[in-house]
Amino acid sequence: MATEVAGYVETGHPAGASKRERLARWLRGDGLEVGALSHPLALPPGARVTYVDRMTEAELRRHYPELENEPFAHVSVIGNAENLSAFADNSQDFVIANHLLEHLENPIRALIEFQRVLRPDGVLYVALPDARITFDQDRELTTLEHLLEEYRHGTTATRRAHYLDWAVNVDKHAQAESHAARLEAMDYSIHFHVWLPDTFLDFLLAAKREAKLDFELAAFAPPETPEDNEFILILLKGTSRKLRLPPAAKGMSRNGWPGGWQAFRSRLRRSPIGPLLRPVYQGFAAQCGKWTGHIDVNDPIARRSDRGEEGATGEKAKVSAVHDAAVGVIPATGEMEQPHRPVGDVRRCDQ
């Protein structure tokens, strides 16, 4: 989901997109992405996805008019994170829940449902916004006591307070009470809960104890740049005495670094003779006449600025290709067409 409030943009593709690609190596086989909306996760080869959302695409577009110009993931199944009844127990290789749990009133119920549909060793890929880098920055962090209370006793009694908090601290509306009532009547998808990486990990441990969840934390990535607004977790269903690792992607080693010729080129660039070879790299690129001006080949921000927008074409893409070849940078994959599973007509989970 992408939302813009008070100058802050919550985006499904933050500056740390390479982090998403790195952790997506865990995904193989057939799985679900719940609530992808306009930012489905780019999948590696060998992963096929079914998109689940609480509304049809037409209904979603009416609900989120601010996204009218965005392409949406093709919704095949109508359901929600707490109700995936269209899918049998132990039927999915992975579940993706990106920028979703904070939108749920009862996230523990969702974790229970994710565990139900995942096969043993199945992968739960979860990305959440860091409150310090989003429009949630003026809100109080959600406490463990609050989350456990809502799981045990339901969310009806606390729903209005969540909407009022949003109206006051995010929308900063002059008529907060009436604005909150209007949002609640719309069933508008706000951030019901607010986390930092460490407080979410505290919540996850508490949820495992409370609901007897059987997930093992296999990977964790906090924000990696000032513009990276999310942290990502890889959870595996079940526990194992053996170390479980992601499949190695083509051309990559298991640790996510280049393999083969790419590994040699990368090691060479970082070796003591790397600085001596940089003029050669730059001279090669300048001779090709693909760009002008000074570029610091060690500065990833400069490299990103030179490439322009992700997925650039034409001259900028040519500039990127020559520059990356010269300095030994692996090109970003950019957007991928999602290999979703054909399921015929849109299905609905039982209510």
* Per-position DSSP letters for 243-291, written without gaps between them: PP-PPPPTTB-TTSSB-HHHHHHHHHHHSTTHHHHHHHHHHHHHHHT--
Q: Provide the terminal-to-terminal Cα distance of the chain, rounded to the nearest Å.
A: 24
Q: Is residue 339 part of a domain?
A: no
Which residue segment(s) compose the domain that 301 sits in? Answer: 260-327
Q: How far apart are CA 292 and CA 286, in angstroms?
A: 8
Lowest pLDDT segment from 111-120, 137-146, 255-264 = 255-264
In this model, does residue 52 exceed pLDDT 80? yes
Question: Do residue 215 and residue 267 come from a single domain?
Answer: no
Question: Do residue 281 and residue 242 come from a single domain?
Answer: no
What is the structure's pLDDT at 263?
53
Q: Which of the two residues, 298 and 326, has the higher pLDDT score? A: 298
Cα-only R_g, the chain? 22
Phi and psi of 5, rounded to 5°? -140, 130
- Do 220 and 198 meet the contact criterion of CB atoms below 8 Å apart? no
What is the structure's pLDDT at 30?
98
* DSSP state for residue 132 in the 8-state scheme: G
Question: Do residue 159 and residue 97 come from a single domain?
Answer: yes
As for how many domains the chain has, the answer is 2
- Give the rounded percent of residues in the chain with a pLDDT score beyond 70: 68
- Do 77 and 89 meet the contact criterion of CB atoms below 8 Å apart? no
Bridge-based pairing of strands 92-98 and 230-237 is unpaired
What is the structure's pLDDT at 241?
87
What is the structure's pLDDT at 132?
96
What lies within 8 Å, CB to CB, of 75 at 6+ separation is 51, 52, 53, 55, 56, 57, 60, 346
Q: How far apart are CA 323 and CA 305, in angstroms?
A: 12
What is the structure's pLDDT at 351?
53
* DSSP state for residue 329 in the 8-state scheme: P
Domain limit, last residue, from 228, 250, 272? 250
In this model, does residue 334 exceed pLDDT 70? no
Lowest pLDDT segment from 99-113, 180-194, 217-231, 276-290 = 276-290
What is the structure's pLDDT at 198?
96
pLDDT (mean) for 239-258: 68
Lowest pLDDT segment from 53-57, 231-235, 325-329 = 325-329
pLDDT (mean) for 322-349: 47
- Do 128 and 89 meet the contact criterion of CB atoms below 8 Å apart? no
Lowest pLDDT segment from 28-37, 60-69, 160-169 = 60-69
What lies within 8 Å, CB to CB, of 227 at 6+ separation is 14, 15, 16
**The model's pTM:** 0.71
Q: How far apart are CA 233 and CA 195, in angstroms?
A: 13
Q: Is residue 229 part of a domain?
A: yes
What is the structure's pLDDT at 311?
39
Average pLDDT over the chain reads 79
Q: Is residue 350 part of a domain?
A: no
pLDDT (mean) for 262-285: 62
Q: Is residue 342 part of a domain?
A: no
